[in-house]
Amino acid sequence: MREFASAFYHSQAWLRCRESYLKSKHYVCERCGGLAKIVHHKVYLTPGNIDDPTITLNWDNLEALCQDCHNAEHMCSQPICADGLKFDTNGNLVQTPRVCKWSARSDDRPGP
């Protein structure tokens, strides 16, 4: 967790917002249908918007995600993962083993 956001993530306002958002989604990951444990901010929190409740506490900016999808989201925001390719140590373009789960197995949802 980023330093600037730690006070926010411990605030009552956020904890309450997060809890009711997860409940509204029935703790179901919005991408893979797994168990949602994390409420992700679609617009990432920055020192510049951390005090703006229209970003931090806006349900339109929230997404209920499981641990895997949340990890993937933050890794896939890096360009190298975006098309699943990277350069190996010899400078050859190779397919990365890590693909975005929700796009790779959209019809392979675990039960509720």
By CB under 5 A, name the binding residues for Zn ion: 29, 31-32, 34, 40, 66, 69
Residue of 27, 24, 14, 22 lying closest to 57 (CA atoms): 14
Residue 87 or 106 with smaller CB distance to Zn ion: 106
Residue 64 bridge partners (DSSP): 39
Strands (E), the chain: 38-41, 62-65, 85-87, 93-95
What's the closest the beta carbon of residue 56 comes to Zn ion, in angstroms? 12
What's the closest the beta carbon of residue 31 comes to Zn ion, in angstroms? 5
Can you give 2-25 as a three-state secondary structure string?
A: CHHHHHHHCCHHHHHHHHHHHHHC
What's the closest the beta carbon of residue 49 comes to Zn ion, in angstroms? 14
What's the closest the beta carbon of residue 2 comes to Zn ion, in angstroms? 11
Residue 18 or 40 with smaller CB distance to Zn ion: 40
Residue 95 or 103 with smaller CB distance to Zn ion: 103
Tokens of 84: 């699943």
Residue 68 or 84 with smaller CB distance to Zn ion: 68
